[in-house]
Structure 1
Amino acid sequence: MPGGAVARVLVDSPLPQLDQLFDYAVPERLRERVRPGVRVRVPLRTGGRIADGWLVELADTSEYGGTLSELEDVVSEVPMLVPEVWALARAVADRAAGNASDILRLAIPSRYVRVERSWLASPGEPGPPPEAPPPVHGAPAGRVEAGVDGGERMTLTADPRPLRLPTGEWVGAWAVALAQAAAHALHRDRSALLVVPDYRDQEQLEAALRALVDSRRVLRTDARQTGGDRYRAFLDATRDDARIIVGNRSTVYAPAARLGLIAIWDDGDPLLSEPLAPGVHPRDAALVRQEQSGAALLFMAHTRSVEVERLVGIGWVQAIEPAAQVRPKVVLTEQQASPEPGSARIPSSAWRQAQEAVREGPVLVQVARPGNAPLLTCDRCRETAHCAACGGTLVVPRAGGDPRCVLCGTSASGWRCPVCDGTRLRAATVGASRTAEELGRAFPRSLVILSDGERPVLRVGAEPALVVATRGAEPIADGGYRAVLLLDGERMLLRESLRVAEDCLRWWSNASALAAPGAPVFLVGVGGALATALSTWRQPEWAATELAARRALRFPPAVRVASVTAGHAAVTRAVDAVRGIDGVDVLGPAPTGEEDEGLQRAIVRFDYGAGARVARELRAEMIRVATERRRPVAGRPVRRPPVLRVRFDDPDVP
């Protein structure tokens, strides 16, 4: 065949047996349009179907001995799958025993023909590169800049206070530090990828970038954009100009010319966990991309995640000590000399401070959950109260009356605790709406602002106000809050999860960082090592202690885990395939709770060094199950083909 007459194509399909490159002949009519990275349509031999795919590379010959099928068409002549993104997708998919096409579906947005034509007709003006930006805020002079220039892997504990930008806007000091690091990379004519958990963080980071670089150099990629805007931003990222690309999880896969920096803010936030297959966390994708590209990698947070602490412990990531020991003034109500009588939700000392502070400016009250109905626990042992009929959670109805089940509505009259035989219930927490109503009555002359998932508030002014916010929905206040009350700490810790303490410490730390310098922060109802870590602002030490405890128990991230879900026979064959690998042990299988489907789940734990082999073996089992043929039995309904689900680093594994 003539040069470039064979196209190697990745078919866009979730089927594991199709996760490989297939050779197709390039017909003469398409010879001038094909190039690596373009979208194509190809025929599949089964049923005469046509499928979408990506042309990964062109070759002169094929190892296939038969006659090659021809490409059906070229969908778009814009090469959107750049080589570095393909290499990243292939590597992270193999690491997670997943499909590369699933990764590319996250990385590359849907095509908009009109936007593409407009983009091809305009050359695009990225704007001038920035002047030399100031040193990164909160870090020793020149330390982060030297790391960016040298392609180092770094972690930095963010300065916990708000800062005022030259534009007059207030943002967290962390946003200024990340913007300065990205501006430094851009000054060196290198691109930067900035990954944040949600739009609240993105708004602050973009405000900080506007004060440092030309807005034409900043590209936004997130789910709140229209499809056309996101597609245009992606096309702009494929140009040869250095850019700063800001967005959520999928930003780590964005194309970037001369990548110089990958930065992730608050990598422990659950919002960064990828729910779609194969469930690769952007932190892991960033680590792979850093190795492939040689770019610098920066993790920044108020609370270092246990995963990053493991990387620091093995020397893979360098911890940068903050330039100055700045920390909020945290007061632990559980350690007060005169403890509160009874079970007051807001201790008198915190109440008095809030009354005084609200005269000067905004006061933040963080609560555990939205809504009105309180969650109930046993008054004696504090065990969460569940319905005796169906196991649902018991709450107090908004209209009042006896506690009822949130699922079946059964009254809880005559309830008895299965743990201690107690018969009395108590409210573990009150929702944000009810808290706002109660504070409105207690502070009749103060403005009460409610911020939660349904009614988000991004910013509040410096005027006096009581701001009631659920965890993670706290708005930033001009000049910082004059006082912060962290309520429902005991309720937050009731959640059954391996990461509950880590999550609570992060929620409390992020809220504490919104306080004005010197303003009091009250943590209500929580004591022990976790509260001490917050009050002394020594979160890295707590993360190291937590990692040591997990290592003793062989819990993530001391080891990696993979959940394997299918029928009993398929799960048994899959775990048997990996049992003999050094460093592997298996928990289960056990029923998943979906009795109607007869599914079981096993947990495979393994050392990091065994990850590649475990992924290969489980991947082979997935393909075997997917291609297994079952003969129909007379008189029996035809069942769906069996599926073996494998999730590496599953966040739902307790």
Structure 2
Amino acid sequence: MPAAGRVARVVIDSPLPQLDHLFDYLVPEELAEQAKPGVRVRVPLRSAGRVADGFLVGLGDPDDAFDGALSPLEAVVSPVPVLTPEVWALARRLADRSAGTASDILRLAVPPRMVRVEKAWLAARREGGDADPVSASAPTTVPVRGYGARALEDAVAAGRRIALTAIPGLTRLPDGAWVGEWSVTLAALALDVWSGGRTAIIAVPDHRDLDQLAASLAAIAPPRAVVRADAGQANADRYRGFLDALGGPRIIIGNRSVVYAPAERLGLIAIWEDSDPLHSEPLSPYVHTRDAALVRQELEGCALVVSGHIRSVEAQRLVEVGWLSEVGPERAVTPRVVLTAAQQASEPAVRAARIPSTAWRTAKDALSGDSGRPRGPVLVQVARPGYAPLVACANCARAAHCTNCRGPLGQTRAGAVPSCGVCGRLATEWRCEHCEHERFRIVTVGSGRTAEELGRAFPGTRVVLADGDHPVLRVGAAPALVVATRGAEPIAEGGYQAVLLLDGERMLAREDLRVAEDCLRWWSSAAGLAAPGAPTVLVGVSGPIARDFATGRLAPFAHQELVERRELRFPPAVRLASVTGVEQAVREVIAAVDPILLIDVLGPATVSDDRGRDLVRAVLRFEYARGAEVAAAVRAAVVRNATRRRRAPAGRSGYRPAPTLRVRFDDPDVL
């Protein structure tokens, strides 16, 4: 049936929850050729002559539409069908699952339109016809190493869901670049999928991982077969890559939002280090990369690979319920880990030292080659960036705070006047509020101070500082001390000849449900940068986490974490939803959910707010099987709250304050 006279089902680009449904519009004769499912459209709204942008999701028959007169489409903004049916189905399912709006997810899935880029892409398509030159090229494959002959490739071809244990260590590419072995594994797996005429999507946490993966793919795949979707790209580059992904099977790599990329014949979704907090989406409706991948895999029936140096507790739960199957390398590879806690406990002088004698000797031997191993760089991982992030009163040892905003005071360099870490004000006339003393002492040593101390201890040795303010991606094979904060460690040619993990006890002291999992990931990632057989020294940490790290028992560690969370009814043993807003609105949401669906409700409790508003937060805990019902009830309460008429403040006619209500399912910041 021709599009003219038919009904266009349109999803409007709006964050308002009451507008999160399909609207019917009439397709006029002049737009019949362009009005196709997936295109961007502009439609009128029945209020003050306004228009809104949206996507045409589908076409229907007039008999099935609204009985009254339908407004016609205002315009078709672009003829390119940028919203594929698969991505729309994913957005709708995820929005329903998280009590959010589909348009919020579509903003992550479909980048802003770049007219010049789009015109060039359309011109190239017209010149080349409908054939995809990339897919038409000769297929090629590279064996995946370390997992058995085609064992992993066959599992992916069969559409299995896999919890993959990565092989730690570095490998050298043909162009001489060094990358993590994990990137070579995922690249070869994606190439095998693409060679079979299907699309592979790989999501990684940050640009460092993305650069390694891109380098591994550049060594084996045709350049145009790989599409990079990076939040750091210019808008034009990102939109160009998005359009290329619409043209046929591709290998699409990127950060968390890449899981929404358009994919023709999707064959694989792979996630690297799903426990990394960078996979947690900070924008509404706050869907984690792993959750989006799980839903998309269920909708499209593709293979799913969740891989990392460690196994997240969420992945462990999926393994134990049978949703993911475990796959590991043929030969277990465990870093050579040295623990210093026993020595520090038995020797008081060693206990007081930040870097015990064992770690000093290990670093000295690696730099000089006295241990019989090649000379090379040494990695020193520390907890905090900066010089001295925290200072205290030299007399009473109370933490020093800014007299302006009560923020923590710290030093940016040796001899500098302490400044506030929040407002930046210099503490030139600071006086301790407890004892009136006027001098400071350093409490927390950062990366800058550590580099300074090591430079004095190893005169003549080059010291490299790598943190957020001093990004370093790679270092050479020459002897050097590389002081890096967690997650900012550069890759060394051939690997580090020794790795020192400092501040472990301080990292574990953070009050967070995931602190042990985070520490294990940081340490394992650093140990994976060591040369084969090179020692990794974990300073000052004892107990089960140190034992499991040293022995490579990472899956049993995740299992024990899950057991403890089941006992406490903490995620991921159960699901939760946090509801934040004014007290009346929060209580209305709680009342809207049938108590039978919930395990319990925590709160409401008062929470701080940047704008000085008095807000409360409640936490709803429920079983996974009740998730859809709870989300539907919460969403209905959110819509009622958003559509309630509010009285304007005195003297502000026409002003309507926005509803104050924030809902986040599986909130990682609650516990």
What interval of TM-score do these two structures reach, taking the shorter chain for normalisation?
Answer: over 0.9
Tell me the equivalent position of 2:192.
184
Alignment of 1:546-557 (within 5 A): 546-557=561-572
Question: In structure 2, how many angstroms separate the alpha carbons of the residues matched to 1:145 and 1:378?
Answer: 60
User: In the aligned structure 2, how far is the partner of 1:444 from the partner of 1:170?
Assistant: 29
Tell me the TM-score normalized by structure 1. Answer: 0.93
1:436 to 431, 447, 451: 451
The secondary structure found in structure 2 opposite 1:369 is coil
Letter matched to residue 260 of structure 1: G
Cross-structure match for 2:22: 21
Cα distance change on mapping 1:2 and 1:171 into 2, 3 Å: closer
> What is residue 505 of structure 2 aligned with on the other side?
490
Q: Which residue of 2 aligns with 1:652?
A: 669
Matches within 5 A, 1:49-448: 49-61=50-62, 62-122=64-124, 123=128, 125-126=133-134, 128-134=137-143, 136-240=144-248, 242-336=249-343, 339=347, 340-359=349-368, 360-375=375-390, 392-393=407-408, 395=410, 398=413, 400=415, 406-407=421-422, 409=427, 411=430, 413=432, 429-448=444-463
Deviates more, 1:369-378 or 1:300-309: 369-378
Counterparts of 1:602-641 in structure 2, within 5 Å, are: 602-632=618-648, 640-641=657-658
> Using a 3 Å threshold, how does the CA distance of structure 1 residues 214 and 164 change in structure 2: closer, same or farther?
same
Q: Secondary structure at the match of 1:358?
A: helix
Query: Unaligned stretches of 5+ in structure 1?
Result: 417-423
Residues 576 and 412 of structure 1: CA distance in aligned 2, closer, same or farther (over 3 Å): farther
Q: Distance in 2 between matches of 1:636 and 1:456?
A: 49
Structure 1 residue 425: Cα displacement: 9.9
Structure-2 separation of matches of 1:465 and 1:401: 27
Say if 2:343 and 2:350, in contact at 8 Å, map to a contact too. Answer: no
Is the 1:394–1:412 Cα contact (8 Å) retained in structure 2? no
Counterpart residue identity of residue 332, structure 1: L
Q: Deviations over 1:586-637 (max 9, x none)?
A: 1000111238322111011111111101110110011101100134476788
Contact 2:335–2:533, Cα closer than 8 Å, also in 1: yes
Q: Tell me, in whole angstroms, the C-alpha distance in 2 between the residues paired with 1:383 and 1:125.
A: 67
Q: Secondary structure at the match of 2:512?
A: coil
State how far apart, in whole Å, the 2-side matches of 1:429 and 1:538 are.
Answer: 31
The aligned amino acid for 2:270 is A
Q: Within 1, Cα distance between the matches of 2:525 and 2:2?
A: 61
More off after superposition, 245-254 vs 495-504: 495-504
Shift of 1:448: 1.3
TM-score (norm 2): 0.91
Aligned position for 1:421 = none
Instruction: Kindly provide the amino acid, as one letter, of the partner of residue 648 in structure 1.
Output: F
Q: CA RMSD in A?
A: 2.6
CA deviation after TM superposition for structure 1 residue 497, in Å: 1.3
Please give the alpha-carbon distance, in whole angstroms, between the structure 2 residues aligned to 1:447 and 1:357: 14
2:596 match: secondary structure = coil
Shift of 1:238: 0.6
> For 2:237 and 2:648, how far apart are their aligned partners in 1?
49
Q: Which moved more, 1:625-634 or 1:246-255?
A: 625-634
CA contact (8 A) 2:497 2:530 kept: yes
**CA contact under 8 A between 2:387 and 2:414: conserved in structure 1?**
no
User: Is the 8 Å Cα contact of residues 40 and 77 (structure 2) preserved in structure 1?
Assistant: yes
Check the 8 A contact 1:394/1:405 in 2, yes or no.
Answer: yes
Counterpart in the other structure of 1:419? none
- Asked whether the equivalents of residues 648 and 657 of structure 2 are also in contact (C-alpha less than 8 Å), the reply is no
Task: Give the SS at the match of 2:77.
Answer: strand
* Structure 1 pair 125–140 and aligned structure 2 pair: CA distance change class (3 A): same
Question: Greater shift after overlay, 265-274 or 457-466?
Answer: 457-466
Q: Name the CA distance, whole Å, in 1 between partners of 2:216 and 2:356.
A: 37
Farther off after superposition, 446-455 or 576-585: 576-585
Shift of 1:390: 6.7
* Paired letter, 1:178: L
Conserved? CA contact 1:404–1:412, under 8 Å = no
* Larger displacement relative to structure 2 (441-450 or 584-593): 441-450
Aligned-partner SS, 1:336: helix
Q: 1:204 to 1:25 in 2, by over 3 A?
A: same
Matched residues in 2 for 1:490 and 1:427: separation?
18
Structure 1 residue matching 2:190: 3-state secondary structure: helix
Alignment CA distance shift 1:182-1:481 (3 Å)? same
Q: Distance in 2 between matches of 1:507 and 1:412?
A: 38
With over 3 angstroms needed to count, the CA separation of the structure-2 counterparts of 1:530 and 1:377, relative to structure 1, is farther
Per the TM alignment, residue 271 of structure 1 is displaced from its structure 2 partner at its CA by 1.0
> Cα gap change, 1:312/1:45 in structure 2, threshold over 3 Å: closer, same or farther?
same
Query: Are the aligned partners of 1:625 and 1:642 in contact in 2 as well (CA < 8 Å)?
Result: yes
Aligned-pair CA distance for 1:200 = 0.4
Distance 1:406 1:117 in 2: 47
- In the alignment, the residues of structure 1 paired with residue 444 and residue 494 of structure 2 have an alpha-carbon distance, to the nearest angstrom, of 30
CA 1:374/1:597 → structure 2, altered by over 3 Å: closer, same or farther? closer
Residue type matched to 1:235 in 2? Answer: L
Q: Structure 1, residues 201-249: CA drift from partner, whole Å, max 9, x if none?
A: 0111111112221111111110222111111110010113x21001001
Shift of residue 250, structure 1, vs aligned partner: 0.7
**Contact 1:404–1:411 at 8 Å: present in 2 too?**
no
Per-residue CA deviations over 1:28-73 (Å, capped at 9, x if unaligned) read 1111111000000001111211110000001122431111111100
Tell me, in whole angstroms, the C-alpha distance in 2 between the residues paired with 1:32 and 1:204.
Answer: 44
Task: Give the SS at the match of 1:325.
Answer: coil
Hey, what's the Cα distance between the residues in 2 that align with 1:386 and 1:525? 29
Q: 1:21 to 1:475 in 2, by over 3 A?
A: same
Deviation string for 1:132-164 (max 9, x for gaps)?
321x23323332112111101001111111111
Taking the aligned partners of 2:245 and 2:37, their CA distance within structure 1 comes to: 17
| Cα offset, 1:17, TM superposition | 0.5
Structure 2's unaligned 5+ residue stretches are 369-374
1:161 and 1:36 map into 2 onto residues whose CA distance is: 47
The 3 A distance-change label for structure 1 pair 89 and 535 is same
Match of 2:371 in 1: none
Contact 2:548/2:557, CA 8 A, preserved across alignment: yes
Please say if residues 195 and 246 of structure 1, whose CA atoms lie closer than 8 Å, have aligned partners that are also in contact: yes
CA contact (8 A) 2:647 2:656 kept: no
Q: What corresponds to 2:372 in structure 1? A: none
Tell me, yes or no, if the aligned pair for 1:195 and 1:247 is still in contact at 8 Å.
yes
Matched residue type, 1:217: A
Q: One-letter code of the match for 2:616? A: Q
> By how many angstroms is 1:344 displaced?
1.1
Contact 2:3 2:33 in 1 (8 A): no
Maintained 8 Å contact 1:266/1:303: yes
Does structure 2 conserve the Cα–Cα contact (< 8 Å) formed by 1:403 and 1:412? no
**Alpha-carbon deviation of 1:454?**
2.2
Other-structure match for 1:44? 45
Question: What aligned pairs does 1:394-543 form with structure 2 within 5 A after superposition?
Answer: 395=410, 398=413, 400=415, 406-407=421-422, 409=427, 411=430, 413=432, 429-543=444-558
